[in-house]
Amino acid sequence: MAKQIGFLGLGNMGGAMAANLVKAGFAVRGYDPAPTARERAAGAGVEVVASPAEAASGAQVLCSSLPEADHAYEAYLGEKGALDAAPEGAVCFDFSTISVEGSLRLAEEAAGRGIRFLDTPVSGSVPHAKAGTLAIMAGGDKKALDAHRDVLAAIGKEVHHFGPNGSGLRMKLVTNHIFAIHIAAIAEGLTLGKKEGLDPARMVDFLKASAVPRILDYKAQPMIEKDYTPTFTVNLMLKDLRMIAALAEGAKVPIPLGTLSRQVYMGAAALGHGNRDQNAIVEYFERGAGLDAAKKHDKS
């Protein structure tokens, strides 16, 4: 018999996930207080019910995609909440981005009822939720995760387990930290180019073919291995950052992020990394964070 799934929060992300679970053959009972979300989910084959408790009743797996911790408390612990109604042994996958503290509290409440609760936030947006190609970061009981990989497979193609409860959400925050800085950098760079008369669409086309989308592939691994063998040094990038600052000043374009990154490169050079590969700027951050000074495997 198909696994019974309860789904709390049928909004932009949750609605698409629940629809994919239906398509994958699971019996999905969902709850959301918003009429539009309820109608859309019903149209996708979700059995829409009147409370979180009804969604949870008889479910082997409870999923949720809720805006913030307070909504999750309401859905799991409030009146007609899901945790009091779910059967012992049930597993919860919470796809929401809520506070680590909030998630730990829910995990504790669940454990007290013989239910395993995992934080399973996602990377990707509505198109990925619709396509079932989200990337899932999990924290919590790995056995519970492994027992229901079939459920997760309908939602995302990548499922990475990071450790105990809270570690999925910690990874989500790291991911969005890097993501937000990237978006801001793209916005800043495109603005500088536009003011300099470059065509936005052609810039984007070129950037896709440039080294920018491959930074993670060829820079991140040596960075974590502390291999600073020079391919493009901190000093060479400092020269470019100087020219970028001059260009922006001439064009009267504020580039706060460019200025900030130049300061970071200057800081790394001042620490003695000027002639090492530019991924050595991580030393500047690690020093600031009080992490142990790194052993370098510098082959230069």
Contact pattern from residue 73 through residue 102 relative to ligand NAD, giving x for each residue in contact according to CB under 6 A and a dash for the rest: -xx--------------------xx-----
172 is known as an active-site residue: yes
From CA 74, how far away is CA 79, in angstroms rounded? Answer: 7
Stretch that binds ligand NAD, among 70-78, 177-185, 209-217, 287-295 (CB under 6 A): 70-78
Of 80, 172, 208, 295, which is the active-site residue? 172
Phi and psi for 84 in degrees, rounded to 5?
Answer: -75, -20
Q: Which helix (H) or strand (E) holds 8?
A: strand 4-8
* Distance from the Cα of residue 294 to its chain's centroid: 28
Angle among Cα 178, 290, 283 to the nearest 5 degrees reads 60
Which one of 4, 20, 60, 65 is in contact with ligand NAD (CB under 6 A)? 65
Phi and psi for 162 in degrees, rounded to 5?
Answer: -105, -10
CB of 89 to ligand NAD, least distance (A): 23
From CA 41, how far away is CA 164, in angstroms rounded? Answer: 32
Ranges within 9-48 binding ligand NAD (CB under 6 A): 9-14, 31-34, 37
Ranges within 193-232 binding ligand NAD (CB under 6 A): none
Instruction: Confirm or reject binding of residue 169 to ligand NAD (CB under 6 A).
Output: no
Instruction: Confirm or reject binding of residue 191 to ligand NAD (CB under 6 A).
Output: no
Angle among Cα 269, 271, 275 to the nearest 5 degrees reads 45
State the residues that interact with ligand NAD by CB under 6 A. Answer: 8-14, 31-34, 37, 52, 65-67, 71, 74-75, 96-97, 122, 125-126
Active site residues: 172
